[in-house]
Structure 1
Amino acid sequence: MAHIDYYFATLSPYCYLAGDRLEAVAAKHGASITYKPFDIIAAFGRTGGTSPKDRHISRIEHRAQELVRQAKKLGMPFNLKPAHWPTNGAPSAYAFIAAQSAGGGDLGKLAQVITRNVWVDDKDIAENDVIRACLTEAGFDPDLADSGLLEGAETYARNLEQAVEVGVFGAPFYVFGDQRFWGQDRIEDLDLHLAGKL
């Protein structure tokens, strides 16, 4: 069976814009997905990137324009200046890891709900009640927000190490075998590759 490692950040606007397209592509090709939430800011520092707040003004301005354009193109609501960004993405990532380990819900939906809470709903995904609501909406036990914190922290750190090791430097990032696809705008390329056309 084909398998995709999906490196994502719960804080990333581009992961929000990915929507459910990865899951649709995986279903189309009978591929499985392992979700690997990781610390994108730490990855920037280790792979030659720069945190968004420290980028040159030309890059900041372009990012602002591009995010709005992509959201319009995809027909998705989007708030360029959410009330709680940046925030601490670790608690939501730990809860996601606990959910992946526990099962019982929809991981793709959970990734979408968490990122939507940042970029549309103006919620702080570092807050326990917000995380619990996200888990519930995606069909998981909300108590997962309070369990497996040590495992979550260890897996989150391990995901970062694996990301750097396999050449991941941004999010969303899709790894299929030795092929790497960076960005929500490369899901179509991943689809074509899985079909043997690219």
Structure 2
Amino acid sequence: MAHIDYYFSPLSVFTYFAGDRLEQIAAQHGATIRYKPFDIMVLFDRLGAPKPADRPVGRSVYRMQELRRIRDELGLTMHEKPDFWPTNAAPAAYAIIAAQEAKDATGEGDICALIGSLFKATWEENRDIAQDDVITQALKAGGFDPALATTGLLAGAETYPKNTDDAFASGVFGSPFYIVTDTDERFWGQDRLAQLDRYLGTL
């Protein structure tokens, strides 16, 4: 059984575009997933890569055109420039980490639904995922105890930077990023999910 380390930032629009396709692919191939939200701004600093606000104008223009094309291909309705982006992604990441631990302990809850609710809040509902009410609503949507928004703070604060360290050590440079840990095969971007699907079929 293959295992996938799923590195992503709660701020990433391209991870929003990925939706639940990873989970569908993993289920088809009997693969397991470990969700590893990381601090993409810290990673950019370590890599010496420009943050979105510091990128050349031409790249920024291209990014917006690409977002519209992908949005239309996927049939989504989204805010191109959400009011609360970028925001502090740590609270959302902490909730995801706490939910992962709760699911490991009980087998209950849907992490994909939790993550989907957070991305929907940013890109469709124009809400701030750093706010407690948005996080607790997302936890409920995933079938998790909304109290994890506070009880999971310690675990999140410990694991979030560790995930970022792991991402850097594993060669991650963007979001979403998928690593089949059994073979160290790496896939970057929601548009590589079809390649991941085909690859898992060869194992």
Q: TM-score, normalised by structure 2?
A: 0.94
| C-alpha RMSD of matched pairs (Å) | 1.0
Which whole-Å CA distance do the structure 2 matches of 1:48 and 1:141 have between them? 39
Q: CA deviation at 1:76?
A: 1.7
Q: CA deviation at 1:165?
A: 0.4
Query: Which runs of 5 or more structure 2 residues have no equivalent in the other structure?
Result: none
Which whole-Å CA distance do the structure 2 matches of 1:47 and 1:129 have between them? 34
Q: Does 1:181 find its partner at 2:182? A: no
- 1:196 aligns with 202
Distance 1:96 1:73, change over 3 A: same
Q: CA deviation at 1:148?
A: 2.2
- 1:75 aligns with 75
1:37-186 map, 5 Å: 37-103=37-103, 104-177=108-181, 178-186=184-192
Residue 147 of structure 2 aligns to a residue whose secondary structure is helix
Q: TM-score, normalised by structure 1?
A: 0.97
Q: CA deviation at 1:48?
A: 3.4
Amino acid at match of 2:198: L
Q: CA deviation at 1:27?
A: 0.4
Query: Which runs of 5 or more structure 1 residues have no equivalent in the other structure?
Result: none
179-188 vs 47-56, which moves further: 47-56
Contact 1:68 1:78 (C-alpha < 8 Å) held by counterparts: no
Which whole-Å CA distance do the structure 1 matches of 2:45 and 2:202 have between them? 34
Q: CA deviation at 1:109?
A: 1.3
Residue 174 of structure 1 aligns to a residue whose secondary structure is strand
Amino acid at match of 2:111: L
Residue 117 of structure 2 aligns to a residue whose secondary structure is helix
Residues 132-181 of structure 1: per-residue CA shift (max 9 Å, x gap): 00111111111100112121011000000000001001000000131110
Kindly tell me the number of residue pairs found equivalent between the two proteins.
197
- 1:36 aligns with 36
